[in-house]
Amino acid sequence: MRLLIKNGTIISAESEYVADILIEGEKITAIGTGLGNGADEVIDASGKYVFPGGVDEHVHYGSFGSLTFETTNAAVVGGTTTIVDFAPQPKGLSIKESVKKHNETLAEGIAMADYSFHGMVMDPTEDLIEEILTLPEAGISTLKFFMAYKGSPFMVEDDIIFKALQVAKKAGVTIMVHAENGEIVDILQKQLIAEGKTDPIYHAASRPPLVEAEATARAIYLAELANSPLFVVHVTCKESMELVRDTYMRGLPVYGETCTHYLTLTEDNLAKPNFEGAKYVCSPPIRPQEHLDALWEALSRGWLLAVGSDHCANEGGFENDKKKGIDDFTKIPNGCPGVQDRLALLWTYGVETEKITPQKFVDIFATTPAKVCGLFPRKGQIAVGSDADIVIFDPNWKGTITVKDSYHGSDYNSFEGMDQIGRAEKVFLRGRLTAENGKFVGEKGQGKYIKMKPFGLCYDNFKE
Amino acid sequence: MRLLIKNGTIISAESEYVADILIEGEKITAIGTGLGNGADEVIDASGKYVFPGGVDEHVHYGSFGSLTFETTNAAVVGGTTTIVDFAPQPKGLSIKESVKKHNETLAEGIAMADYSFHGMVMDPTEDLIEEILTLPEAGISTLKFFMAYKGSPFMVEDDIIFKALQVAKKAGVTIMVHAENGEIVDILQKQLIAEGKTDPIYHAASRPPLVEAEATARAIYLAELANSPLFVVHVTCKESMELVRDTYMRGLPVYGETCTHYLTLTEDNLAKPNFEGAKYVCSPPIRPQEHLDALWEALSRGWLLAVGSDHCANEGGFENDKKKGIDDFTKIPNGCPGVQDRLALLWTYGVETEKITPQKFVDIFATTPAKVCGLFPRKGQIAVGSDADIVIFDPNWKGTITVKDSYHGSDYNSFEGMDQIGRAEKVFLRGRLTAENGKFVGEKGQGKYIKMKPFGLCYDNFKE
Amino acid sequence: MRLLIKNGTIISAESEYVADILIEGEKITAIGTGLGNGADEVIDASGKYVFPGGVDEHVHYGSFGSLTFETTNAAVVGGTTTIVDFAPQPKGLSIKESVKKHNETLAEGIAMADYSFHGMVMDPTEDLIEEILTLPEAGISTLKFFMAYKGSPFMVEDDIIFKALQVAKKAGVTIMVHAENGEIVDILQKQLIAEGKTDPIYHAASRPPLVEAEATARAIYLAELANSPLFVVHVTCKESMELVRDTYMRGLPVYGETCTHYLTLTEDNLAKPNFEGAKYVCSPPIRPQEHLDALWEALSRGWLLAVGSDHCANEGGFENDKKKGIDDFTKIPNGCPGVQDRLALLWTYGVETEKITPQKFVDIFATTPAKVCGLFPRKGQIAVGSDADIVIFDPNWKGTITVKDSYHGSDYNSFEGMDQIGRAEKVFLRGRLTAENGKFVGEKGQGKYIKMKPFGLCYDNFKE
Amino acid sequence: MRLLIKNGTIISAESEYVADILIEGEKITAIGTGLGNGADEVIDASGKYVFPGGVDEHVHYGSFGSLTFETTNAAVVGGTTTIVDFAPQPKGLSIKESVKKHNETLAEGIAMADYSFHGMVMDPTEDLIEEILTLPEAGISTLKFFMAYKGSPFMVEDDIIFKALQVAKKAGVTIMVHAENGEIVDILQKQLIAEGKTDPIYHAASRPPLVEAEATARAIYLAELANSPLFVVHVTCKESMELVRDTYMRGLPVYGETCTHYLTLTEDNLAKPNFEGAKYVCSPPIRPQEHLDALWEALSRGWLLAVGSDHCANEGGFENDKKKGIDDFTKIPNGCPGVQDRLALLWTYGVETEKITPQKFVDIFATTPAKVCGLFPRKGQIAVGSDADIVIFDPNWKGTITVKDSYHGSDYNSFEGMDQIGRAEKVFLRGRLTAENGKFVGEKGQGKYIKMKPFGLCYDNFKE
């Protein structure tokens, strides 16, 4: 099967030019002009942008009460052809066993986007440290720790992060942290509840920027002490972003991502009436406008590398899950769906407002996440030899984001009613058309498990 | 009794001038020229410097295995007329009870310098937080927490420091921290011992500057979150000093001190043969030269406020205490004697080398420590109405520091063999001659307990 | 003649205490309690503050069209007993000749406050550089250059400042700069006038903060290249203050002052109707509120050292001088009177609002300016042996600043109508009562010329 | 003519992959696998790297006594297919006229690489400012000013740079500056010569880093005041690099390049015996090692954008030109040849030592210079539609740089004797083989004048 996408304007992380793309089987085999002798199918992309399918390096499917891979069509409909899921670690299982089990139970034969797995430490034992050395053999090259959630079994102390950092660099595993000071969150939560401050808006007050900044600073000190790379997930505030930026400036391999909602939703949403604020409860919390501005600038200037969705569609949605916290914000299940809208939000609120260039959009949406996760060059670019994961994008489409068009399976959309400019007109996964104009046209189980290679981007500037 | 000190060159924290000082009873009642009609005794201080008796805001008498107030004559012989001791908290006792007991058992009727007590949290319970409000009534306005010493009952988590900071500002209590990350020290100690690195020099390797800097940064974040003043004791390294400096620059009431040995002894001492290095084991450890340079600059420019001795003379000294760790540096009891040599070291290695001016010397030796601890203006200056705690200093004396001349009671002196320029020729405690040319000429029990006032210097720039 | 000031609360730059002050002739001879046997006169200062007479290190008498020493009673009425005037340099005269001539023609036998002279370069020739070495012999230890005022003979290029800095350190002369980029001011003025923007408010637009910051940065580079101390006069904006602060932080001997109007008047005043804005035209211009805040913080934290008045009372005042620029703001003569109100403004808007402590007030009003100008310890403190320049200050007085009470001789007061808290009840110049409750009670010609000593405060941290 | 380059490993600024490149006429028409049906010529590049021909944005041909376009074969032999020359401005000619004349007289029909022209202001008149608006019409979108060379007609004052910046942004012209404080250089030169310090090493002493940093800071202030983009050419020292970096961090469109010799030659070379040091005299001067390290880090991290050669081959070479300064370093003609060795130096001392990745090499060697100069996407990348300027690079070749292999026409090579790893095996200019294994195989006059587009890369983050 030879497929030709003709005359599109190809956007890469560094350039933009008009050319044809020839796909043979699952791979891109040529980019050129006047290609196409003998193509089985020709698609005209004149006047459209053509860019690599997205790589969302931060999704939750089947962890923390979220819906599972049955709803991964949301990703491809939204132009994201590869998702990197955080595989939860059941008590007593190793990381490799956890990933294997998570894949076999929930993903294999079901996933509708290609996928990969981060390790996510939820049963932090001494054995874990030794296991890190063998993770890459199993295709796992990233490992996340939680510095938050006091009272849960997965909040870790500094010692285990430090030991993990010491070992990880030997194997090229990238240590990731959820950086919030769990001790202080716990005190603030209790103080707020004791004062009768139970509404969703107090979720933000219980996790102020300094709580995130402190943990970020601490993780950075641990990385510097261990002389090891570090990746800070969901950076949400100016203070933490500046820590990541300034540490990198000092020559250390410390990096971070942010997420779509931290770029597009302000803290005010948490104060919406009728408990609507609960729809926006995630941790760290969404922030006031000044932080959004700082995060966009950070992306534009390369101080943060990528934008994940932190997709987490609660099974019970607003009615059955979020409302559990109606009398106590600490009981509201965390997380918001977002994987489907990542492209639309970055384009509409980033490119269209000139906060970022189209090149930078491709960079943070696809290319760099693939590099961070050891999936590049197979994923994340339109280039000869890469998987034919391709979005044909109509920049002229105009619409509104709504749960009615969402495949994520939950009963609300955090971005409900927001304007959308441009749309993924056609999405190809390894050469097969899989979504068209907001509709899923692929098949259940079409997604493949892609193993990570070790020594991802965070090791680029690393010296032992 | 009217005593006149004539013709001395008075040094204050801001000036220098020749004048007579008239003392009536325990107080200074006049400074002038041609004073002295009817003085009972006249002392000629021509050609000598005259400055306030020292205030050493960091000493240990009777805690951590140190000798008690029986050896406080070491302070006055060395020109320090007021010491601020860290009163240990026995399990089950409140801070106020601990201070009372420590005073009654060990200090009262014995002390040979005036003295005051910091609270030192060693049994961190929830009750403590409430007690903070009433500490000033008992004359206690400072409270120290340990962020180090994993495995001991007194290493605290972030939560209790944070709560203490929240409450302390209501009562004008200054929270102090010993800032080292106990978790990481513990790992490094175990890793070093496992590698057979048991000598004293590895004490330094187990507590590198970043371990101190991380804890300092964390304490500062907690203070900022609680919006409360903070005082960091024994800052030893460039990194921590810069954190204190830069935080103050941002407008926050965060301050710090350093100690004599961090200014005058380098890490190399820990490598001395025949286990001699053990004599220099204290925590945080002494550092390489670049840190000494940074600390002197910090004092000169006001980025650190004061210099304590962290005096801690082990009862068993080198032979019976330090040698406990001959096979394992982690077993070496911490602490070095220093209260007697603080003046000599600051003068010889600070003033004489032009690292600090004589005015700055008085500032860090006497005036500012008194202000930090709520003892000013009674202590810390030569001024009408203040206690007549006075040093007549001969700047021309030259000698060598040696344990033979030391009153501290331990069997070694960490500064053994170092040159000394200048000496306290006469030391007056509340108007009474109490030391002369390195000899104690006062009486046991002459020292008075001086209660602290709340809202010390750390509250000067504080706004709720 | 023995005068006793009894029971006042003495404020120094570091302390506060109640004591009597004994004055014999022109000097303070004793400070104590119960002094006064045989005093010829006793003044009760109970309930009053007593502090050193002010040292205003930035005044213009008889330069740039300002009134001369006939109006220096304004200084003493306002509690300032020493003024340091910028002596203009007529074409062809050396600095020493200029100072001599200025003194003999305008000051001697007329001045009503003690006074000293800065050199002010207005005829920048090569001879000047050589003369610097001999300035201290003539009692001149400071020398100011103008980086602004394109078109005038006194705006200098970088080369002469650099050469002056190279030479000055050999003689202990402190180089001072008026830091504004004259080239850019000139362009902006012409562009604004060409656009019909002729009102006083455009004076600010023609000299924005960056114009000052650039010149400040440049002067600092020159000082660093020459390895020589630098003092930046009238720092008005956050940007310049931060340059001075950060350079000092890097270890260089760079310092600065600000002036009263930059602390208390915002740019809005320049927009007052009926050409009233012209009353506030001075260079650099007054700034928006954020800069005022930054300057107060800088004083409080020691990043700027002193507050001068930049007193410059135009002979023709508003009606005959300022109105020359009614059609063109560039023609408005610069300068505002201020020497009389410096104490009142610093106390009312600094101490009373808790922006600075009473100690810091004394520091920036008297002590440090005296040190910068080589007049300390004779001037700037209440201490035995110093001149008996003393203010008895009633902190309870309340009133309003008005030109009616002003001795400065011009027809308006820039601070007209502003509240004043506290007043100099009695002002003594070298032991003689010279002002009382806002009235001058001294004599014309009572002021003495005080020669500067070289190697003032800016040399304290200097190393060749 | 259809040419196929097969199986090479293509390096772009973001990626690396194996593919064939199809060239039709002067353009790249396809990149793919298994291409080549019907190619007229097939070149096997297996095991070789293939990357875009270099863009050297900083060369001097025919200005300042340098050889002219007769020697531009040096560029293509060294893998640089496009050079951007600084066209000198004769007195009385406009910039457009100067470029036209320079092109017609010296380049057209002679050049052997494609070329473009910066405007270079050497006759700074008021007319210039107005002309800036029309420069882009003539294909000139960059304009350089000299802040150095006192005594020459082309050293400019701040005013003209400021006015140029104000106007340039309207037309999308990028203002460039040679940043050294000419006043201070002049003084230092005279002082050194007066002290008998006439050897080449004193060239460095006469232009220390702070002289460059000051001018860089000043240019940045002017750009900020004018709110206009700025490009600093040949950044040579840590201080200036940090200014560019930190300004960009503050959100301003300020950028810079460095040059090959600042990355690979230390100041020590200036001290070589037998006047050999003169071979290294260029301005700003080469620096001590710490600056080289800082510049490499800056490139690696994106704080500087590009590396030019500042190629300037003196007609008289060492014997007839450089020796003019044998008794006085200020008389040594500035400039060194370098265009031919840029690739070799960046690869050998950057890529091979792992200071930069191969991707970053392509970025600073070709892609970003093309973007800065408005030549992208035609130049600077291997992409469909771009000019077929291609280097086939043999990474295994090893040799030594020597003047014997140099085409630059001067009698010495500043990099003589340095190791070289890798070589441009084949260089194609718009599809035609033009150099092979260090030999020029093209034709005189083959180079085309490429006009710049306005609003180059420096405008990417610019907002009016």
pLDDT, tens only, B277-325: 999 999 999 999 999 999 999 999 999 999 999 999 998 999 999 999 9
Q: Is D1 exposed, middle or buried (0-12, 13-18, 19+ CB in 10 A)?
A: exposed
> CB under 8 Å to D66, separation ≥6 — which residues?
D60, D311, D312, D313, D314, D315, D335
Residue D463, pLDDT score: 81
Is B32 within 8 Å of C34 when comparing Cβ atoms?
no
Q: How far is CA B417 from the centre of its chain?
A: 22
> Who among B163, B181, B213 is closest to A158 (CB)?
B181
pLDDT digits (tens, 9 = 90+) for A395-439: 999 999 999 999 999 999 999 999 999 999 999 999 999 999 999
Residues of B near A (Cβ–Cβ under 8 Å) read: 157-159, 162-163, 181, 183-184, 186-187, 208, 210-211, 213-214, 217-218, 221-222, 224-225
The pLDDT mean for chain B works out to 97
Mean pLDDT of B240-248: 97
Mean pLDDT check: name the lowest of A34-43, A243-252, B199-208, D82-91.
Answer: A34-43
Q: Which run of H or E residues covers position C182?
A: helix C182-194
Q: How far is CA A443 from the centre of its chain?
A: 23
Mean pLDDT of D278-297: 97
Residue B415, pLDDT score: 98
Catalogue the E-assigned strands of A238-365: 254-259, 306-308
Residue C413, pLDDT score: 97
**pLDDT per position in chain C (464 positions), as tens?**
899 999 999 999 999 999 999 999 999 999 999 887 789 999 999 999 999 999 999 999 999 999 999 999 999 999 999 999 999 999 999 999 999 999 999 999 999 999 999 999 999 998 999 999 999 999 999 999 999 999 999 999 999 999 999 999 999 999 999 999 999 999 999 999 999 999 999 999 999 999 999 999 999 999 999 999 999 999 999 999 999 999 998 989 999 999 999 999 999 999 999 999 999 999 999 999 999 999 999 999 999 999 999 999 998 999 999 999 999 999 999 999 999 999 999 999 999 999 999 999 999 999 999 999 999 999 999 999 999 999 999 999 999 999 999 999 999 999 999 999 999 999 999 999 999 999 999 999 999 999 999 999 999 978 88
Is C35 within 8 Å of B30 when comparing Cβ atoms?
yes
| Exposure string for B420-447, b = 16+ CB within 10 A, e = fewer | bbbbbbbbbbbbbbbbeebebebeeebb
Q: How many C-beta atoms lie closer than 10 Å to residue C193's C-beta? A: 17
Minimum CA–CA partner of A251 in chain D = D297
pLDDT digits (tens, 9 = 90+) for D355-393: 999 999 999 999 999 999 999 999 999 999 999 999 999
For D49, phi and psi rounded to 5 degrees?
A: -90, 145
pLDDT digits (tens, 9 = 90+) for D405-429: 999 999 999 999 999 999 999 999 9
How many Cβ contacts (< 8 angstroms) between chains A and D?
88
User: Which of C16, C23, C384 best tests the B interface by mutation, with the highest count of B CBs <10 A?
Assistant: C384
pLDDT digits (tens, 9 = 90+) for A358-387: 999 999 999 999 999 999 999 999 999 999
The pLDDT-based confidence of A1 (bands split at 50, 70, 90) is: confident
This prediction's pTM: 0.94
Contact (Cβ atoms closer than 8 angstroms) between residue B372 and residue B174: yes
Using a pLDDT cut of 90, give the percent of chain B over it.
96
Q: Residue C49 pairs with which residues in a beta bridge?
A: C9, C393
Contact (Cβ atoms closer than 8 angstroms) between residue C320 and residue C303: no
Q: How many C-beta atoms lie closer than 10 Å to residue D98's C-beta? A: 22
Mean pLDDT of A210-237: 98
Is D225 within 8 Å of C184 when comparing Cβ atoms?
yes
Residues of A in contact with D31 (CB under 8 A): 30-32, 384
Residue B126 has pLDDT above 90, yes or no: no
Q: What does the alpha-carbon distance between residue A405 and residue A413 come to, in Å, rounded to a whole number?
A: 10
Q: What is the DSSP string of C239-283?
A: HHHHHHHHHHHTT--EEEEEEHHHHH-BGGGGG-TTTGGGGG--S
Q: B370, B464, B455: which is closest to B173 by C-alpha? A: B455
The pLDDT-based confidence of B35 (bands split at 50, 70, 90) is: confident
Q: What is the DSSP string of D92-127?
A: T--HHHHHHHHIIIIITTT-SSEEEEEEE-SS--HH
Mean pLDDT check: name the lowest of B417-426, C311-320, D131-140.
Answer: C311-320
How many Å from the N-terminal Cα to the C-terminal Cα in chain A? 47
Q: What does the alpha-carbon distance between residue C294 and residue C266 come to, in Å, rounded to a whole number?
A: 13
How many Cβ contacts (< 8 angstroms) between chains C and D?
58
Secondary structure string (H, E, C) spanning A46-96: CCCEEEECEEEEEECCCCCCECCHHHCHHHHHCCEEEEEEEECCCCCCCHH
Q: Which run of H or E residues covers position A20?
A: strand A16-24
Question: Using the 8-state DSSP alphabet, how is residue A286 labeled?
Answer: P
Q: Residue A433 pairs with which residues in a beta bridge?
A: A428
Mean pLDDT of A32-52: 92
The pLDDT-based confidence of B412 (bands split at 50, 70, 90) is: very high
Q: What does the alpha-carbon distance between residue B428 and residue B408 come to, in Å, rounded to a whole number?
A: 19
How many Cβ contacts (< 8 angstroms) between chains A and B?
58
Helix, strand or coil for residue A22? strand
The predicted complex's ipTM stands at: 0.95
Residue D46 has pLDDT above 80, yes or no: yes
Helix, strand or coil for residue A157? coil
Q: What does the alpha-carbon distance between residue A204 and residue A265 come to, in Å, rounded to a whole number?
A: 13
Q: CA D165 → CA C186, D216, D226, distances in Å?
A: 16, 15, 6
Using a pLDDT cut of 70, give the percent of chain D over it.
100
Is D19 within 8 Å of A460 when comparing Cβ atoms?
no
Q: B: neighbours with 3+ CB pairs under 8 Å? A: A, C
Mean pLDDT of D314-325: 93
**Helix and strand element counts for chain C (H, E):** 13, 17
Mean pLDDT of D313-338: 95
Rg of chain A in Å (alpha carbons): 21
Residue B112 has pLDDT above 90, yes or no: yes
User: Which of D6, D15, D361 best tests the A interface by mutation, with the highest count of A CBs <10 A?
Assistant: D15
Residue A209, pLDDT score: 98
Locate A129 and state its tokens: 């440290």
Is A31 within 8 Å of D30 when comparing Cβ atoms?
yes
Residue B41, pLDDT score: 95
Contact (Cβ atoms closer than 8 angstroms) between residue D55 and residue D82: yes
User: Which of C155, C157, C214, C220 best tests the D interface by mutation, with the highest count of D CBs <10 A?
Assistant: C214
> Who among C158, C187, C224 is closest to D162 (CB)?
C187
Q: What does the alpha-carbon distance between residue A205 and residue A268 come to, in Å, rounded to a whole number?
A: 12
The pLDDT-based confidence of A197 (bands split at 50, 70, 90) is: very high
Q: What does the alpha-carbon distance between residue D233 and residue D251 come to, in Å, rounded to a whole number?
A: 20
Residue C1, pLDDT score: 84
Q: What does the alpha-carbon distance between residue C367 and residue C337 come to, in Å, rounded to a whole number?
A: 22
Torsion of CA D402, D404, D408, D413, to 10 degrees: 30
Q: What does the alpha-carbon distance between residue B405 and residue B399 come to, in Å, rounded to a whole number?
A: 11
The letter for the amino acid at A246 is D
Using a pLDDT cut of 90, give the percent of chain D over it.
96
Q: What is the DSSP string of A355-414?
A: SS-HHHHHIIIIIHHHHHTT-TTTSSS--TTSB--EEEEEEEEEEE--GGG--S-SS--T
Is C384 within 8 Å of B297 when comparing Cβ atoms?
no
